[in-house]
Structures are given as structure tokens and as C-alpha cells.
């Protein structure tokens, strides 16, 4: 990918009436990237791509496309096309005419239109469907036609606003694979909008997590999932255990410290994590640990003093979902895979640990105030 970004949003602000939708949004996207804007309804992701497309004007800031400021240009003067969730196909036109419509408006010759429509139908695996109308197509086929109609114009950027939301689960997963394959073959920059975490993780080169008009975190799917930077990112992307507490350098075992680990005191006891490289870390913070990374044992692991009772277990075949109630009323979720030999029983006392490298130090907003932290943090008592 080229170093020069194909798109830059610079200090974008947008309000509707008294409601601020985007707050000083800054984002650069490289040529050929598949970038997903991920967040709950109302986070500003749709407004952001409407501004990129020229369908909305920002109150402040610039949209720079291939080095050119296009903020004031109308949609038809930007090489940006959009695919919507509702497809927006012309019901009275057949597939060929739907796809050819934009080329005709551009003044392309008939032979050129025929060639490009034929090529794009092969790309989306719909050759032979030229004479069918939208009502004669399945949902997945209509979505392919909508994508073909956008791609046939050779846009620099394709914007996709929750395009798979109307499809059933199996078809949605199939279309995820197909969209990623098409994007890879063409090398066009895709900017994709969804609130579906699985879609974002499966398809993206980079995920931009948005909340209340701001970027909460941006990075690769692995970085977002494994090293969430804030409580919101940790809880919105998959499932996560969040433990409030305090970094306790003085209580870190020598063997852990030698390997770059550090101790973290919670109201339920001590645990370990691998701190990020930083000049200074906040004393009071939180850890995020995914349920898949939690280990449950009958014997206390080195460096950890978290213990509790198995409160509930849900067997789903290859996965056992376990809830552990720690001292102080805290609970953790743990997933165990495989045949589960020597299975722990509900009501049994267990010790909780994880690989310190799999615990992410997080910050950001708090939904509620944390539980009062003890004045003196000792080892957690076993829950009887």
C-alpha cells in the first residue's frame, strides 16, 4: 500500500440541531485498505460516510481524497460510490440496465457499457442474470447487483453502509467472504459500516471503533480484540472480564518481574499482567481479560490469589461457559474447550489465573463507579 493516504478526514465536526454527532474526527485510510467503522447505533459512523460521499456537509473540517480537498464538491464529482442496506435498485429495470445506468449517465458508448457490465457480472458471479428484474432475485443476488452497480464505475473508494444487515446468518457469512475476495482482487479501498463485531473481525484490515461521535480505538482486528484500549472497546468487541484495581509494583514476584510482568491488586485479590511500554502507568486502572484466556485450577497458581466458587456452567458441545463468583461479589466468565476431562463441578472452589500477556491494561470511561477499594489489599480469602 502507498504511504500517501487515499482519504483523510481532518477535524470533522457535525451537528444536527443541538445534537453533536461527530466531534473533531480525524482518520486516514490507505489505498487498498478494508476499513470497518464499528459501533452502536447513533455513534456517528453513518454520518461519517455520508460526509465522505458528499451527501452531508461537515460543520467544520476537511475531506481530502487523493490529496485533493473535496469537502465542497457534490457526490457526482467524487470517485466514491455507496452500497446501501436496502440495495436501492430500480425495480422496473433488469439487472443489465441497473448496472449500466451509471455508465450511461457518464456518456459511455454502448460497446464499452456491454464490456464493463459483462466483466462486473462475472466478478460478482452473476453471468446470465442480465434480463432478470430485482423481484426475481434472492436477497444475496440483489446485494451482488448493488455491489456490481457501484463497482462498474471504477470508484477510488467503495462505501458500504451495513450492506448485509437484511440477509440471514448463513448468507451473510457467505457474502462476507465474497466481499473480502472481491476487494482483494480489485484492490479498491472499502470503507464498511457495521455494528456486528463478527463481521468487523472477519473482514477488516483495520477496525475503527466509534462511540458517541469519537474514535475510541483503531487498529487491526487482532489488536482491537487482544489489546483493547478502553472499557468500551473491551466490552463492545466480544466478551470481556473487566477487573478494577491498582498496579502494585512492590508486590510483583521476582520470577514474574524478570519476564516483564507486573502485579495488579483487585478487591478480590492479586493477579498478574504484562504492562505495555510506557513512561508512566496510572496507579488506579483496570484489566481486561477474555473468557477464553481464563484458567480455572484446583491448586493456586504462582503469583495469583484470585479464588472463588463455580456459580454456573453452561455446556454447549465443544465449549463450557463457566461463571465464577469471586470474593466481594465479583464474577468472572471463563470458556473451556475440548472434551473437558477432570471437569470441575458447580459449587467447587477454584483458583483463577491467566497468561499475564493476555491481560490488557485499559482506560476510558466508566459506566459506573467501581466497587470501593480496600484500604489495605491482602490476599483474597477463599470463598467457602
Q: Which residues pair with 246 in a beta bridge?
A: 265, 284
pLDDT value, residue 99: 94
| pTM score | 0.84
pLDDT value, residue 5: 92
pLDDT value, residue 279: 46
Q: State the chain's maximal CA–CA distance in angstroms.
A: 81
Instruction: Tell me which residue of 58, 50, 70 sits closest to 159, measured CA to CA.
Output: 50
pLDDT value, residue 283: 56
Q: Residues, the chain, total?
A: 384
Contact between residue 56 and residue 50 where contact means Cβ atoms under 8 Å apart? yes
pLDDT value, residue 329: 81
Mean pLDDT (the chain, rounded): 85
H-type helices in the chain, by residue range? 45-53, 95-105, 110-123, 139-151, 169-186, 197-203, 221-226, 231-236, 254-258
The parts of the chain modelled with pLDDT lower than 50 are: 1-2, 258-259, 278-280, 365-384
pLDDT value, residue 130: 93
Distance CA 360, CA 179 (A): 32
Cell numbers standing for residue 155:
470508484
User: Long-range pairs for 122-129 at CB < 8 Å and ≥24 separation?
Assistant: 123/148, 123/151, 123/182, 123/185, 123/186, 124/148, 124/151, 124/178, 124/182, 125/178, 126/95, 129/95
Amino acid at each position: 500500500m502507498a504511504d500517501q493516504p487515499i482519504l483523510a478526514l481532518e477535524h470533522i465536526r457535525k451537528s444536527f440541531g443541538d445534537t453533536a454527532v461527530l466531534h473533531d474526527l480525524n482518520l486516514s485510510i490507505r489505498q487498498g485498505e478494508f476499513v470497518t467503522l464499528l459501533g452502536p447505533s447513533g455513534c456517528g459512523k453513518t454520518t461519517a460516510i455520508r460526509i465522505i460521499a458528499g451527501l452531508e456537509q461537515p460543520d467544520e473540517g476537511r475531506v481530502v481524497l487523493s490529496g485533493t480537498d473535496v469537502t465542497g464538491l457534490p457526490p457526482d464529482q467524487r470517485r466514491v460510490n455507496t452500497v446501501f442496506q436496502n440495495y436501492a435498485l430500480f425495480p422496473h429495470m433488469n439487472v443489465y440496465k441497473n448496472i449500466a445506468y451509471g455508465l450511461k449517465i457518464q456518456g459511455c458508448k454502448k460497446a464499452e457499457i456491454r464490456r464493463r457490465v459483462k466483466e462486473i457480472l462475472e466478478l460478482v458471479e452473476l453471468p446470465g442474470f442480465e434480463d432478470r428484474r430485482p423481484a426475481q432475485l434472492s436477497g444475496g443476488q440483489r446485494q451482488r447487483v448493488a455491489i456490481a452497480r457501484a463497482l462498474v464505475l471504477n470508484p477510488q473508494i467503495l462505501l458500504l453502509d451495513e450492506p448485509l444487515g437484511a440477509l440471514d446468518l448463513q448468507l451473510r457469512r457467505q457474502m462476507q467472504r465474497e466481499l473480502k475476495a472481491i476487494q482483494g482482487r480489485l484492490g479498491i479501498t472499502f470503507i464498511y459500516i457495521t455494528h456486528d463485531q463478527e463481521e468487523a473481525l472477519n473482514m477488516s484490515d483495520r477496525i475503527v471503533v466509534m462511540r458517541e461521535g469519537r474514535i475510541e480505538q483503531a487498529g487491526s482486528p487482532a489488536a482491537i480484540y487482544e489489546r483493547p484500549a478502553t472499557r468500551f472497546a473491551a466490552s463492545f468487541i466480544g466478551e470481556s472480564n473487566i477487573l478494577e484495581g491498582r498496579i502494585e509494583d512492590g508486590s510483583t514476584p521476582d520470577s514474574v518481574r524478570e519476564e516483564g510482568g507486573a502485579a495488579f491488586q483487585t478487591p478480590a485479590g492479586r493477579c498478574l499482567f504484562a504492562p505495555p511500554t510506557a513512561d508512566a502507568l496510572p496507579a488506579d486502572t483496570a484489566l481486561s481479560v477474555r473468557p477464553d484466556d481464563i484458567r480455572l485450577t484446583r491448586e493456586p497458581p504462582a503469583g495469583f490469589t484470585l479464588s472463588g466458587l463455580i456459580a454456573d456452567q453452561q455446556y454447549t458441545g465443544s465449549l463450557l461457559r463457566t461463571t465464577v463468583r469471586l470474593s466481594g461479589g465479583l464474577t468472572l466468565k471463563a470458556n473451556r474447550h475440548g472434551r473437558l476431562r477432570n471437569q470441575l463441578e458447580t459449587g467447587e472452589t477454584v483458583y483463577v489465573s491467566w497468561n499475564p500477556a493476555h491481560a490488557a491494561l485499559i482506560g476510558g470511561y466508566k459506566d459506573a463507579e467501581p466497587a470501593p477499594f480496600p484500604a489495605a489489599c491482602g490476599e483474597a480469602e477463599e470463598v467457602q
